[in-house]
Structure 1
Amino acid sequence: MNLSDQTALVTGANRGIGRQYVLELLERGAAKVYATARRPESLKFDDPRVVALRLDLLDHESVVAAAATARDVTLLVNNAGIATGAALVTGDLAEARREMDTHFWGTLDVIRAFSPVLAANGGGAVVNVLSALSWFAAPGTGTYSAAKAAEWNMTNGVRLELAAQGTLVQGVLLGAADTDIAAGYDGPKIHPRDVPRRSLDGLTAGSIEVIVDEWTAMVKASLAGDPATFYTRITELLDAS
C-alpha cells in the first residue's frame, strides 16, 4: 500500500497510539485523516487534512453515521480501546462485558460498517491494534486479555472474509507503550510513535501481522512450548519490573 494520498480513519485518535497514527499518516503524505473519538472536541490537530469525527464503539448509530460521512476512506485503523482492570472471577461482570463490547463487538461493528466503503474505493486496508496480551494473561489483565484474544482471532477471520474484495487486514501486536492506558505499569515501555511507524512500514510491504517490540516477539515464540515454562518466565519478568 502506497500511503501517500490515502484517506484514513483512526479510532481513538485523541491521545496515545491513535494520535500518533494520525501524526505519522500526515507525515507520510496522507491526503486526509478522519480523527475520531467519543468526544470530537478533545481532538487537537492543526493540520487542515484532519477531519474530526464522532465515533463511539459502544454506540452503533455513531458508527453508522461515521461510515456515511467518511465515504472516501481507503485505510481504517482500529485503535480505540479500554482497560478496566476488572478481575474475571471476582470483578464486576459489567466491566468485563464492556471490555468485550469495546474490543471485539465494537471493533467488528466498525469493520462491518466500513468494509463496503473500502470495497467501493478499491479494497484498501484495515489495521487492528492488538496486544501481546492477546496471547497471554497477567495479574490484573484478565478481562483485557480475553477481549484482546477475541479481537486477535476476529482479525484473522475478517482477513479471510475481506480478501475477495482486495482489502488487506493487518494485526499489530505490542507490549507496553508509554500511554495513559499503561500508566500503572512500571516495566519497560516503547514510545507510542513506534507503533504506527512499524505498522505503516508493514502496510507498504503488504504485511498482515506486525510485531512491534522484543517483548511481543518473545511471547509469540513461546506459544509452541509448555505454558507452565512460559508463565514461570513471565512471572519472573513481571516481578523484576
Structure 2
Amino acid sequence: MNRQGEGAQGQEYPAAHGQVIVFMRYKAEMDRRMRNALIRMSGRIKQYGPGHIVGIANKVTVVEAPPTSEWLQRDDWCFAVFAFPNERLANLWYVSEPELKQHDFLPPSDGVQLFSMDIRYLPQMGKNTFNWMELSDIKSKSYLQSEYIDKAARLLDAKCVNHGVVFVKDSVVDEKVNRMKDTWIPYKTMTNFALHMYDNENQFWSIYNSNEYHPLREARHQLCNTTSLLFTVDPRVA
C-alpha cells in the first residue's frame, strides 16, 4: 500500500474507507476541565458510528520548527484525539454533543482548535506515539519525493512504523482538512501534511538520531521547511 507518499511502497495494511481522525488542541490550563468533559461525553460519542476517544496527550515536543512558528511561542499545548467512521458522523457529533454546545465551553479566546482529516489505512493497535509533520516552502516537489519521502518511507517500513496514516499534499489541503473549529493550518497553503505513528517516543528518537536517517534529514532541510511535533496519546482520560 502506498503510505507516506506517492511512489512509496510500504507494508500491507487494511485500507481505510472514509474513517477520520479528529484533533482538538487546547492549552494545559484547560486539561482538567477537558478531561471531565470527555468522561461525560464518552458514552454519547459511541452513538456516532461508533466514534471513540483515542486519548489525550498533555505534552507536545517540538522536534523541528521554523523560527517564526507559533509552536515555539508556548510549550503548554495538549491534544485530545478522536476517531469516527466518516466525516459526516464526526460533524454530527461536533454539532450535537452537549458539552461542545455550551456557550462557555471552548470559547475562541481559549485558543481551542478542532479539525478532522481522513486516514489512508488502519494503523496497528498500540501505536500511540504520533509524529505530525508539515513540509512547507518546498523548493522542488520531485526532489523532495525522491530524495526524502520515498527514502524515508522505506526506512520507516523497515522499522515497522505506521507512516503516512494521514498524508495530504499541498494543492488539496483545503478540501482534505475539515475545519470544525479553526486550525493552525492556513487556507490555500502549499504544505504537505503527514501523520506517522510509532510504538513509543524511544522508537521515534532512535530512528530520528540514527545514521540511516541523518542524510535524509539533511536532504529535507535543503528542500523545505519542517514543522515536526511529537506526542504520545494516553487512552486513560480520567
TM-score by length of 1: 0.25
Work out which structure has the larger RCO, using CA pairs closer than 8 Å and 6 or more positions apart in sequence. Answer: 2
Structure number having the greater strand percentage = 2
